[in-house]
Structure 1
């Protein structure tokens, strides 16, 4: 039981720390907390206290806690876990409004409250498993059906993959709990629940694999953010030094070239004048790049206002008309007309243009790029999808790194995605990239729901560019 409760409470802590803002994640954390509390009560009774007694380290107040801890842990696990599972499934599958879900959370707690009043706790808790199955069984079955249906109806490949992972993580241990902790007890198999350690260990293994490969409950996003911020701090200090040094030296070159130009013009030295023009042009270009680098090194300041998302997308697409025509690429935009977001329109449009520009460069001629946006649960979800060359697994490790680029350094300095990432982060959102060599790239942007001010009522429409 020690391993069981430790694994479950570690998962609880991780979910709370990394993704507390998402309501469904909080319910998932409550599932593992309730299951872990049951294990803790058993571990206290069967492992901790016997060990303390063996080494004569026990005390009266510790002995007095044994039965209460066991009772509370057992009741929390037996009654709280199925309730938390149903609420997690309801919030995660997003079949009801936020107001309706709050009401359901109260209504669904009534059986648990009734069980608290009718369950004997003296001398130890005595569960009525016949009565428990009357509501626990339907809760587990309904929650399982909701998760399966949410997976089956999902059209986005990325979201479908994540929902499959959630389904594989949640259903096996909860169904095993239903069988071992409720049904088998009716047939006097009192210790079948001890095999829960197997399902919990498998759960932890699968959880770790999915976190590493795909990212769930905000873990991968957090890891990428830490890595990104570390790289950006290094970038900032380097840019400041580089910008200061080069700007001073190039400023001197510019002044000297102006003076030489004045002298040479009097002597009609045409060749010198041409060379001077090249010097001036080069120095001005480098000075311009230094200003851009300095801009990227500074913190992003937002000037937010209410802006239709469709307007930002349309303007971004229009600005790319020449690039699109050169490669005969169509952009299909499916965005709700009445979805208004609170953002800095200048920075957001620049971000969209960066993403679209990357998609155009990666796409083959006579292909298409798809841009979609919709409300999913408590988030505004947006996706830029192309079927271009894609990104290799090796390069995917570095796509967020400042100055990383595969395009060559003549016209691209590798700051585009870094800048996009920071703009979206400044707006309280998350930018994620998934890609496979030869199968295109998907850039997903998720914002919290409070960044929108109008709910979606109208059908989305396609715009062709």
Structure 2
């Protein structure tokens, strides 16, 4: 049975910390009530459980023994002289008085008697001996006042759910403080704590504190799970709701960002197809139409898997040729590259296949190529896709000779919704999405040589286990005509 006293103070202190962590401003005094209320069971635990456990094992040195003894006396002093006051404050700050200034003033005034009574004990009475009759009346005054404050707080509250919450708090803490007052402040006549024994004169009802306190803790936990308590569940649900809204907003923005890129490709391809038709180049127009089909298929695949991009990316892995991925990314973008006068060089030290999510990797590379193109000067530039097989990683590099990235922006470009592009179609989600894709593949994305005016290299690091060698080096260097550029990222 003595072990239950450990459970008592641990459960009360845990509840106090939980309430304090979730809403320190509103729950401060309620948390303090639980913490000070657990001091008595903590003191009894030292005498009845902890010391009897340590003593026969020879772990209780004289210094440690003296420390534990003094600690138990301090805990009992805090309980007798501060618990009634904190219980009263918990009721006051629940809403009995509306303005903070009035609450603070009343708190200071009510703290004075607790200080005087406690100070009298420390100065005039034996340190480890408590005559309950000396402070019983003041304890009763605080407990009665707490009941009044709870009643006022409940009566003043008009909002339905807050009123229900205050009713639960009032009932639980009223029962708890009333029972503690009856058993410990009325039931006790005197307590003298020795090392290691104590002399307690009481009616014995304090032994039932275990059942009542643990029962009240169980009720609090029940309300936490079912209906919420002291705003905790409300806050958790609000945070979940906010997180869901942020995920939804980000998902819609990412989809918008990706759709914008794909529609841009379709516009370029449509213009090219129209030109081919007018000039009678049937074969080239058919090729452009096939490219449009490829873009729309990718777009539909991406829309079908929007949850993966809005919430958590889930990979659907296959083994695909790296050259095929580059072709799938570059061919739909060829009209854009031509219009921007961008030369493209693809250099593979070793051709092979990569175990990856094809859709997400294509989208990642499309984002990086689009960023690189946007960084080019109006006179055009060079975009290089290069692969390297290293000891630990298979690397894909995307390098441009564009405007680069200012140093002051390097720490921000991976943040969601951060963008330097001055138009309504960019949401700053391209790079954060690319980083997420690489992390899901067990790799990482890094930037090198990202200096203003010197271009940028983005490196995708894949675990080497994902790459399977199949053939030899290849180089792909198509030339494209000119166009103007906009800011990167």
Q: TM-score, normalised by structure 2?
A: 0.49
> Which residue of 161, 164, 171 corresponds with 2:164?
161
Q: Please name the residue that 1:447 is paired with.
A: none
Q: Which consecutive unaligned segments of at least 5 residues does structure 2 have?
A: 191-200, 279-295, 311-489
CA distance in 2, matches of 1:10, 1:86: 21
- Name the CA shift for 1:174/1:117 in 2 (closer, same or farther; >3 Å): same
Please name the residue that 1:114 is paired with.
116
Alignment root-mean-square deviation, CA = 3.7
> What is the alpha-carbon distance in structure 1 between the residues aligned to residue 99 and residue 262 of structure 2?
61
| Structure-2 separation of matches of 1:81 and 1:12 | 13
Offset from partner CA, 1:217-236 (integer Å, 9 cap, x none):
34214433554466467657
Taking the TM superposition and a 5 Å limit, the aligned residue runs for 1:208-357 are: 208-224=221-237, 227-228=240-241, 231=244, 235=248, 238-239=251-252, 242-255=255-268
2:182 aligns with: 179
**Aligned partners of 1:21, 1:93: CA distance in 2, in Å?**
13
The alpha carbon displacement at 1:126 in A equals: 2.4
Aligned in 2, Cα 1:238/1:102: closer, same or farther, shift over 3 Å? closer
TM-score (normalizing by structure 1): 0.52
Residue 365 of structure 1 is matched in structure 2 by: none
Q: Is the 8 A contact 1:42 1:70 kept in 2?
A: yes
Contact 1:119 1:126 in 2 (8 A): no
For the residue of structure 1 that corresponds to 2:38, the secondary structure is: helix
Matching of residue 17 in structure 1 with residue 30 in structure 2 = no
Residues 10-43 of structure 1: CA deviation (Å, up to 9, x unaligned): 0111011111132xx1011111111112221211
**C-alpha contact (below 8 Å) 2:94/2:166 kept by paired residues:** no
Note the C-alpha offset of 1:98.
Answer: 1.7
Rounded to whole Å, the distance in 2 between the matches of 1:117 and 1:201 is: 32
**Deviation digits for residues 174-203 of structure 1 (CA, Å, limit 9, x no counterpart):** 000110011122495353222111121111
1:41 and 2:43 are equivalent in the alignment: yes
> Map of 1:117-132 to 2, 5 A cutoff?
117-119=119-121, 125-132=128-135
Q: Distance in 1 between matches of 2:274 and 2:163?
A: 65
Please report how far the alpha carbon of residue 257 of structure 1 lies from its aligned counterpart in structure 2 after TM superposition. 5.4
Q: Distance in 1 between matches of 2:96 and 2:127?
A: 39
Going from structure 1 to structure 2, the CA distance change for 1:229 and 1:43 (only over 3 Å counts) comes to: same
Question: Which residue matches 1:198?
Answer: 211
Does 2:78 correspond to 1:65?
Answer: no
**Correspondence for 2:7:** 3
Residue deviations 1:57-85 (CA, integer Å, cap 9, x gap)? 11122111233112111111111111011
CA contact (8 A) 2:169 2:230 kept: no
Q: Which SS does the other structure have where 1:109 is aligned?
A: helix
Contact map agreement 1:86 1:142 (CA 8 A) in 2: yes
Can you give the 5+ residue segments of structure 1 that lack an aligned partner in the other structure?
A: 266-282, 298-465
SS of equivalent to 2:97: coil
* SS of equivalent to 1:216: coil
Change (3 A) 1:241 1:150: closer
CA distance in 2, matches of 1:65, 1:75: 15
Q: Which residue of 2 aligns with 1:335?
A: none
Compare CA radii of gyration and give the structure with the larger one: 2
Could you tell me whether the CA contact under 8 Å between 2:96 and 2:156 is conserved in 1?
A: no
1:58 match: secondary structure: coil
Q: 1:153 to 1:242 in 2, by over 3 A?
A: closer
> Deviations for 1:211-265, whole angstroms, at most 9, x for unmatched residues?
1222223421443355446646765775565344322222233455567889999
Taking the aligned partners of 1:116 and 1:39, their CA distance within structure 2 comes to 20
